[in-house]
């Protein structure tokens, strides 16, 4: 599964919504009230997930989130490698290797991994982003030893022949044809990413460029696997009806004997291009609904001068784009009826810089120029008139609630923790995120808006009907 930065936020929301365990709402609501009250009086609040962590001798970090409401468990392995770590000219390799991880090991036949999980009542999948690759199984807790054994096996013992590789490469090529070559939205996203990132590997699509994808070899995949797939470059997150001691014993049994990898560093071109006003206008005969978006290259947790900058950007994105309560939606959709949808998003979890997105879809009869002018008026109004304290506080409370209610889900904590640790964040930072958000003030948000929402350092992208059929 290809996982672009554009869908990270929705993925976490989906993970929170799925597999929510019963009788948890009251507990989460109490935790939320405790967090908010603690932030207001300046005392230390309880941790969001109350997770425990330890590291095996071979370097594998293990995180355990205990949740004893049902006898189920989510088992996730996160590798600190993604599409941005591919060798030059080998785009699509990380995602293709994700596919090959289901094609057998020295002891398992192709497809046997998935068949065993399904036969034991489990659900499993995997996904690749620019910065990480993850594999998960949701299953009854008494089957945890089975999935640990299976996942540990393919961490170091992957095996596939030339025929299997070529077959799966064709599958991924068809995936690109179906999801990119035939999807105008995806094509625009690729072109906007190229313009935004210029020489940084985030410019490359996770599924790969067609010519490079078609040229990938079995040896390319094996070399990439041997370099990056190792316990000392991975994080194991277990969420569910387990204890730390149980997980420690199982992890030692199944993962403890695996050898370390060669030791790797992420070497990327991090030099940002000079500021430029860039516009990408694309017409396509299959487009019936015009789309408009603007992307800003902004700091992430790893590139921001201070953590407060990323927190302020998170609050800013919710003020502008927090669903139907966001300024963009209220002004463009509800009040002025110029758009059918409008919003903004930001994700601070990236190895290198992040992206702040603003988007809108006009109503029929509304021109691009009229829509863009309206969006600019909302943003400029915020920059000119500022924010009220009440507006900032309301948004912060909603954001804190979202983080804490994630505790009630089985897989939500594993997603949130795995993403964060995979890009270099700390467990402590994840656990105290509501308190950190509580410390963001109106002035912090305004500073972030005035610093980073600069049109001379953004890419505006427009997708409209037309073009050759």
Q: What pLDDT shows up at residue 15?
A: 37
Q: What is the DSSP string of 349-387?
A: --SS-EEEEEEEEEPTT--HHHHHHHHHHHHHHHHHH--
Q: What pLDDT shows up at residue 22?
A: 39
- Residue 271 pLDDT more than 60? yes
404 pLDDT band, cuts 50/70/90, is confident
Beta strands 123-128 and 133-140, pairing class? antiparallel
Higher pLDDT, 274 or 225: 225
- Residue 434 pLDDT more than 80? yes
Task: Determine the average pLDDT of the residues in 354-362.
Answer: 97
Q: How far apart are CA 84 and CA 413, in angstroms?
A: 25
Look up 98 and say whether it is catalytic: yes
37 pLDDT band, cuts 50/70/90, is low
Residue-wise pLDDT tens digits, 359-384: 999 999 999 999 999 999 999 999 99
Residue-wise pLDDT tens digits, 64-99: 999 999 999 999 999 999 999 999 999 999 999 999
Tell me how long the chain is.
Answer: 469
Residue-wise pLDDT tens digits, 150-197: 999 999 999 999 999 999 999 999 999 999 999 999 999 999 999 999
State the DSSP H helix or E strand holding residue 341, giving kind and residue range, or none if neither. strand 339-346
Residue 287 CB-half CA count within 13 A: 21
Supply the Cα-derived Rg of the chain in whole angstroms.
Answer: 23
Mean pLDDT lowest among 36-40, 264-268, 455-459: 36-40
Residue-wise pLDDT tens digits, 297-340: 999 999 999 999 999 999 999 999 988 999 999 999 999 999 99
Judging by beta carbons within 10 Å of its beta carbon (0-12, 13-18, 19+), is residue 222 exposed, middle or buried?
Answer: middle
Q: What pLDDT shows up at residue 322?
A: 87
Q: What pLDDT shows up at residue 8?
A: 42
User: How far does CA 232 lie from the centroid of its chain?
Assistant: 22
3-state secondary structure of 62: strand
454 pLDDT band, cuts 50/70/90, is confident
* CB-based contact 411:239 (threshold 8 Å): yes
Higher pLDDT, 2 or 190: 190
Mean pLDDT lowest among 17-26, 46-55, 176-185, 225-234: 17-26
CA distances from 446 to 139, 315, 374, 440 (A): 45, 10, 20, 11
3-state secondary structure of 259: coil
Beta strands 276-284 and 291-298, pairing class? unpaired
Which letter does DSSP use for residue 95 in this model? H
* CB-based contact 164:114 (threshold 8 Å): no
236 pLDDT band, cuts 50/70/90, is very high
State the DSSP H helix or E strand holding residue 303, giving kind and residue range, or none if neither. none
Q: What pLDDT shows up at residue 405?
A: 85
- Residue 23 pLDDT more than 90? no
Residue 177 token pair = 């044809």
Q: What pLDDT shows up at residue 113?
A: 97
Q: What pLDDT shows up at residue 9?
A: 42
Residue 254 token pair = 């199944």
Among residues 86, 98, 151, 175, the one annotated as catalytic is: 98
Q: Going along 19-119, which residue ranges are E strands?
A: 52-55, 61-66, 72-79
Q: How far apart are CA 348 and CA 341, in angstroms?
A: 23
What is the edge-to-edge ordering of all strands in the sheet holding 457-465? Answer: 276-284, 457-465, 291-298, 354-362, 339-346
Q: What pLDDT shows up at residue 270?
A: 80
User: How far does CA 40 lie from the centroid of its chain?
Assistant: 30
144 pLDDT band, cuts 50/70/90, is very high
- Residue 39 pLDDT more than 80? no
């Amino acid at each position: 599964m290809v996982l672009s930065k554009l869908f990270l936020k929705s993925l976490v929301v989906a993970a929170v919504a799925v597999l929510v365990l019963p009788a948890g709402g009251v507990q989460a609501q109490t935790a939320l009230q405790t967090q908010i009250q603690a932030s207001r009086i300046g005392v230390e609040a309880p941790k969001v997930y109350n997770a425990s962590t330890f590291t095996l001798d071979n370097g594998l970090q293990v995180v355990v989130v205990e949740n004893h409401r049902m006898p189920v468990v989510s088992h996730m392995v996160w590798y600190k490698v993604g599409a941005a770590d591919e060798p030059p000219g080998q785009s699509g390799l990380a995602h293709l290797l994700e596919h090959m991880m289901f094609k057998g090991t020295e002891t398992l036949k192709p497809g046997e991994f998935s068949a065993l999980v399904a036969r034991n009542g489990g659900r499993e999948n995997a996904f690749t982003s620019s910065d990480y690759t993850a594999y998960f199984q949701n299953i009854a807790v008494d089957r945890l030893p089975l999935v640990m054994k299976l996942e540990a096996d393919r961490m170091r013992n992957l095996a596939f022949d030339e025929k299997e590789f070529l077959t799966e490469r064709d599958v991924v090529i068809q995936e690109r044809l179906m999801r990119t070559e035939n999807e105008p939205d995806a094509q625009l996203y690729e072109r906007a990413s190229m313009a935004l990132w210029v020489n940084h590997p985030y410019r490359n699509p996770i599924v790969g460029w067609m010519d490079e994808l078609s040229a990938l070899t079995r040896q390319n995949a094996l070399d990439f696997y041997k370099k990056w797939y190792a316990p000392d470059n991975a994080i194991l997150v277990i969420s569910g009806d387990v204890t730390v001691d149980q997980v420690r014993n199982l992890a030692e049994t199944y993962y403890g004997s695996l050898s370390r990898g060669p030791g790797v560093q992420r070497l990327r071109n991090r030099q940002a291009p000079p500021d430029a006003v860039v516009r990408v206008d694309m017409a396509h005969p299959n487009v019936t609904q015009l789309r408009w978006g603007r992307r800003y290259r902004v700091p992430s947790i790893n590139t921001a001068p201070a953590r407060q900058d990323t927190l302020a950007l998170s609050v800013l994105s919710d003020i502008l784009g927090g669903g139907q309560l966001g300024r963009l939606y209220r002004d463009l959709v509800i009040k002025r009826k110029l758009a059918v949808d409008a919003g903004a998003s930001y994700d601070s979890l990236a190895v290198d810089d992040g992206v702040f997105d603003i988007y809108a879809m006009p109503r029929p009869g509304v021109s691009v120029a009229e829509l863009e002018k309206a969006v600019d008026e909302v943003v400029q109004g915020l920059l000119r008139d500022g924010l009220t304290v009440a507006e900032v506080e309301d948004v912060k409370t909603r954001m804190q609630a979202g983080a804490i209610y994630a505790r009630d889900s089985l897989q939500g904590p594993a997603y949130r923790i795995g993403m964060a640790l995979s890009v270099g964040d700390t467990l402590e930072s994840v656990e105290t995120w509501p308190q950190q958000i509580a410390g963001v003030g109106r002035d912090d948000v305004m500073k972030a808006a005035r610093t980073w929402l600069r049109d001379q350092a953004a890419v505006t992208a427009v997708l409209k009907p037309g073009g050759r059929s």
